[in-house]
Amino acid sequence: MRCFRELPVVPHVTELVGTLQRAGFEAYVVGGAIRDLLLGRAPKDYDVATAATPEEIRAVFGRRQARIIGKRFQLVHLMHGGELIEVSTFRRAPKSSAAGGEEDSDHLITSDNDFGTAEEDVWRRDFTINALFFDPVKSELIDFTGMGLADMERRVVRAIGEPRLRFEEDPVRLLRALKLVGQYDFSLEQETENALFSSLGLIRRASSSRLSLELEKILASSYGDRHLRTFHDYGFLHYFLPELDERWDSEVVRYAVDLLAVRNERVAAKLYRNSVSLAMAALALPFVEELHGHQPGELWPYGGRSFDLISSVLEKVFRPQQMINRMTISAERMLRLQPLLYSRDTEHNVAEAPGYAHGRELLMIQNECIWHRDDLAAAWPPGRSRDSRPRKRRRNSRSRHPERRRPMPPPGA
């Protein structure tokens, strides 16, 4: 189904799509951006899909602007309008999906590099609301599944094809479905929901690096608290973050999720920048208090054994996911500073300490959540340390983490 729609795609993305089209290649904006624009929200980023192969995309934009990344799922990172845009080539459904079926008794997909047409590309996507294509040059919305637009209006998440098979092919789709539920307050379509409930355990087969990356994305979003609640409601948290799940009804976890929610509100209000390590620290903080025998909101004494406790807590809370070392170290730093910040310590040169800016923000989050003291913000100037400065985007920063290159990795990889 095709229809005319005005959607406010940012000009540089429209221009990028136009450039590909003028070079003779079909091209669309796809994925989450279209979903968000239809809901009247600002997209977090843009995904573009095109008939051009990675080599052809590079030929159109030049090597300086376009870099081919990934092996099992090749795509192009295009620097355009000062932003990095991921451009992928249309693919057809991999062999082991619903249409075909491999000899292999399980349906896990391990490679996903067969190029195809726009329509073929749609059927290998996960949910109908994620499979809408938009041509920003013609302002044309294309709903190849015929259900995407209606599902947007019904506010449902529906797997494309046979739901159980789609979850078997790539168990990370379980998590992706629940993220959509948590983020938009959508519900699962009945068959998708039945299949999800009977497939939850499959998540154990997903690669740990992909799951850790998902956790990183959840903590980097401003919906982390909502995602965790949804995961718990659907029984998924038990597999994903068992420590939080087991203690879900405790004061400790309630406070932890509240701290994350306040952090998210402050990010949304642009009071502080988004940071994964800060989100990690917010979630872990009540567990550190508890290990010291303290109640939520009662920080621990600075120094000594508390440092060891902090690292053990971080590991335990996020197990079995493995967070990047750099983030764990940063979370540790800001947690260590909390007792000093709270007591308005003047001896330790706190404002110059590494991690001060995030540490101060964590203090503000607790203050907003539980203490409501007037003196803390004034006592500590907003961060001047490295944390608060906007980061320079490191070129190819994901390449050190081989699983972290693709927006749509080969399912099951």
Residue 42 Cβ vs ligand ATP, minimum distance, rounded to whole Å: 11
Site for ligand ATP in 183-212 (CB under 6 A): none
Does position 163 interact with ligand ATP (CB under 6 A)? The reply is no
Of 69, 37, 32, the closest CA to residue 54 belongs to: 69
Site for ligand ATP in 224-253 (CB under 6 A): none
Burial degree of 327 (CB within 10 A; 0-12, 13-18, 19+): buried
Choose the contact partner of 170 out of Mg ion, ligand ATP, none; CB within 5 to 8 A by kind: ligand ATP
Phi, psi dihedral angles at 62 (to 5 degrees): 90, 155
Residue 62 Cβ vs Mg ion, minimum distance, rounded to whole Å: 24
Does position 168 interact with ligand ATP (CB under 6 A)? The reply is no
DSSP sequence for 10-24: -HHHHHHHHHHHHTT
Longest dimension (CA), the chain: 68
- Pick from 44, 205, 319, 384: which binds ligand ATP (CB under 6 A)? 44
Does position 337 interact with ligand ATP (CB under 6 A)? The reply is no
- Pick from 85, 87, 126, 279: which binds ligand ATP (CB under 6 A)? 126
Does position 32 interact with ligand ATP (CB under 6 A)? The reply is yes
Q: Which stretch binds ligand ATP (CB under 6 A): 91-99, 124-132, 250-258, 269-277?
A: 124-132
Does position 408 interact with ligand ATP (CB under 6 A)? The reply is yes
Distance CA 244, CA 283 (A): 9
Enumerate the β-bridge partners of residue 80: 83
Task: State how beta strands 83-89 and 133-135 pair.
Answer: unpaired
Choose the contact partner of 267 out of Mg ion, ligand ATP, none; CB within 5 to 8 A by kind: none
Q: Which stretch binds ligand ATP (CB under 6 A): 140-148, 227-235, 280-288, 403-411?
A: 403-411
- What the block records as the tokens of 71 is 């092996």
Phi, psi dihedral angles at 117 (to 5 degrees): -100, 170
Question: Of 32 and 411, which has the nearer Cβ to Mg ion?
Answer: 32
Choose the contact partner of 173 out of Mg ion, ligand ATP, none; CB within 5 to 8 A by kind: ligand ATP
Tell me how far CA of residue 381 lies from CA of 328, 341, 351, 364, in angstroms: 25, 11, 8, 11
Does position 70 interact with ligand ATP (CB under 6 A)? The reply is no
Does position 164 interact with ligand ATP (CB under 6 A)? The reply is no
Does position 161 interact with ligand ATP (CB under 6 A)? The reply is no
Does position 411 interact with ligand ATP (CB under 6 A)? The reply is yes
Sequence-separated (6 or more) residues with CB below 8 Å from residue 205: 108, 171, 412
Q: Which residues bind Mg ion (CB under 5 A)?
A: 31-32, 47
Give the burial string for 181-193 (b: 16+ CB within 10 Å, else e).
Answer: bbbbebebbeebb
- Pick from 14, 50, 97, 130: which binds ligand ATP (CB under 6 A)? 130
- What the block records as the tokens of 161 is 């094809």
- Pick from 135, 143, 168, 170: which binds ligand ATP (CB under 6 A)? 170
Q: Which stretch binds ligand ATP (CB under 6 A): 8-16, 68-76, 150-158, 170-178?
A: 170-178
Choose the contact partner of 365 out of Mg ion, ligand ATP, none; CB within 5 to 8 A by kind: none
Tell me how far CA of residue 203 lies from CA of 57, 132, 182, 275, 390, in angstroms: 35, 26, 18, 26, 35
Residue 113 CB coordination number (10 Å): 14
- What the block records as the tokens of 16 is 């990028």
Give the containing element (helix H, strand E) for 194. Answer: helix 190-199
Residue 170 Cβ vs ligand ATP, minimum distance, rounded to whole Å: 5
Q: 279-282: long-range contacts (C-beta < 8 A, 24 or more apart)?
A: 279/219, 279/220, 279/224, 280/219, 280/314, 280/318, 280/323, 280/327, 280/328, 280/331, 281/331, 281/334, 281/335, 281/358, 281/362, 282/256, 282/362, 282/365
- Pick from 31, 136, 224, 383: which binds ligand ATP (CB under 6 A)? 31
Does position 93 interact with ligand ATP (CB under 6 A)? The reply is no
Does position 182 interact with ligand ATP (CB under 6 A)? The reply is no
User: Which residue is closest to ligand ATP by CB?
Assistant: 32
Question: Of 127 and 318, which has the nearer Cβ to ligand ATP?
Answer: 127
**Residues near ligand ATP (CB under 6 A):** 31-32, 44-45, 47, 125-126, 130-131, 170, 172-173, 407-408, 411
